[in-house]
Amino acid sequence: MKAVLRKMFSPILNVFESDDDTLVINPSHRKILIAVSFLFCLLATLVTIFAWGAEDKGFLIPVVTFGVVGFVGFVVGTLGTDKAVAKIWGSRS
């Protein structure tokens, strides 16, 4: 199942797994990335809920931004290699 999901999200994963740098990752980096991604998605959801009735649809800018950042972080955190997670953190040796 993971192979199918990795293939489906390969356009996102290839961006973070394409570099040949030597990167360092701690086991907690993946857990923290997933937690922060969850918080971004929660923030996007809460902004949507509280601002839905507004006439001005400018609230959609942070909703889309936080939603995309949360989604990409969640995909990389759950399906990405250690190299992809380290690239998000910017952990260079």
Q: What is the pLDDT of residue 18?
A: 79
Q: What confidence score (pLDDT) does residue 93 get? A: 58
Cα separation, 20 vs 10, whole angstroms = 17
Residue 80: predicted pLDDT: 92
User: Which structural domain range is residue 63 located in?
Assistant: 59-88
Q: Identify residue 42 by its one-letter amino acid code.
A: L
Residues of the chain with pLDDT under 50: none
Quote the CA–CA distance of 28 and 24 in Å, as a whole number: 12
Please count the structural domains in the chain. Answer: 1
21 falls within a domain: no
| Within a domain: 69 | yes
**Would you say the C-alpha torsion 7, 13, 17, 19 has a positive or negative sign?**
positive
Spell out the residues 6+ positions from residue 68 whose beta carbon is closer than 8 angstroms to its own.
none
